[in-house]
Structure 1
Amino acid sequence: MTLDLSKSKQVTVLLSTYNGSKFLQQQLDSLYVQTYPNIKILARDDGSLDDTRGILEKEHLNGHIEILKGHENLGPALSFFELLNHAASTDTEYIAFCDQDDVWHPNKIEHAVTALLTIPDNRPALFCSRLEIVDEQLNHIGFTHTPRKIGFGNALVENIATGCTIVLNRKAVELLSQDLPNRVLMHDWWCYLVLSCFGEIIFDDHAGIKYRQHENNTIGVAMDMFDELKRKIHRFMHNGTGLLWFHACVFSRVFNKRIPVSQLHILNKFIAAKSSTWNRLQLILSKDIWRQKWLDNLLLRLMILINRI
């Protein structure tokens, strides 16, 4: 499908910042040169102690961005939810999440909107994609993997939709903003979970972002086998127990009787495993939940067995 840019509907880019002055201007500059013509940038600072707010104020005075009032430190998930809630009250057709330290390829938004136009207007949809991993100087390191299978059973236990790649259509924005929870694992994971249940997920192999790896990343990406294994073991040994179960319970509370029967069956099975050895054994053997890699699947089932989900 070829996008008619002369009839383009508005995309609101939601930018949450926190102590991001080192790379923020470069990210903003990459937003200003997007090939998609109808873009509004809405920023919210999450309590920065450096010059981040000064950069945002300068760009606001120059007419390049809008700033959401208030800079209480909420954490990344709730900060993005504040932005999402505000954008939902406007007539924007799409929203895109944006981190403070990446660089977007010029056609990132145009490419995502073109893909979303293949989905019927009455169907909620989420676009996401691979990442090009780069170092602080934007030198190429590698690409993230393409998921082998996407779905609700994956979204319960793993996130494949990296926030800075996500673009949501209007129906997805309306669906998500109806009841935004006050505690989730991450905003992008919540979006993947909700849209995998009630809408469409488009995962694109095209990497539209240079994802900068540096020591201050909130969540980084492991690029070699040993680093990845070390991270997995650390998460397994030290992360708080019950986080996946908690996430599933929040989802159950928010959407309650609206959940389709097939997804509800999986959800109830997952939640019940927390309090029943028999249900845990059934879940271990089930193909209804999965992670993308065999080692992750093995660790997931070990976590279920010892009741650490």
Structure 2
Amino acid sequence: MDLAGLRVVKAVADTGSVSRAAETLHCVQSNVTARIKRLEEDLGVDLFHRMSRGMAPTPAGRVLADYADRVLRLVAQARDAVADAAGRGGRLAIGAMESTAAVRLPPILARFHADHPTVELTIAPGPTETLLIEVLAGRIDGAFVGGAVDHPDLIAVPVFDEELVLVEPVSGLTSESGRRTLIGFARSCAYRGRAEMAMRDAGRVPYRVMEFGSLDAILGCVGAGMGVTVMPRSVVEREPWRRTLAWRPLPDSLARMPTLFVRRADGVETASLRAFLDAVSEHPATQAPTPHTGLKRLATAC
């Protein structure tokens, strides 16, 4: 059993197919088949059920795939830690909600890059649920997510405190359809649940939902009068949105949304990750909501 064999087991378990695993590993299918057969002979068990359409791991195969995932993650962490210790910078992959990436991260990233220019830093935007999955799988080193997180394999530290507001076009909504249309990310977004609760509490029912995959698309459609959304006030008070959007306050039970930085409890804390977390903790916005800066505020009632 070697790392190449573990990569094959994980790829087949993840994709359910020899052909797709071969594509993932950039090798020919015969190599994948041969590796699986060699491992099965070495361990004396069948690792996969061969079916007419693909392959599914046996109970023994699921156990090995789980160990393969952990071993390969540790190997990647070890390589980054060694590169970090040798002064070669290493790699750092951070996930973030789109609103956090747009508003909170730019000054933090600028400072981190200035102090650590050799670190290969990647930012992966996404909704909270997806980011948690990516952190747990070890595909990213940590992520900024919204709302409470309680998982035995994760460390979650509060970093920002956002005030959520109901966002409408600055010119107002001229149709009942617009008042009853919620524009937002998919359900895996932390803000989506608060947004639907806000619509119900405001009596805007029944309502319909239009889903978009980008922050700019959501705010652009709201500015055009197509509907409303729920976002951090720090987002809509920035240019260019402050000229086209206005906001209404939400009830206290819905308005406060902490942003947490989560990472695996068993992950290696490299010097690069420590430096990044230091840059986050030293930023003025950490743990403090942004002050009101003049964006038009609508009447309190939703």
Richer in strand (by share): 2
The structure whose Rg is larger is: 2
Larger RCO (CA under 8 A, 6+ residues apart): 2
Output the TM-score relative to the length of structure 2: 0.28
Output the TM-score relative to the length of structure 1: 0.28
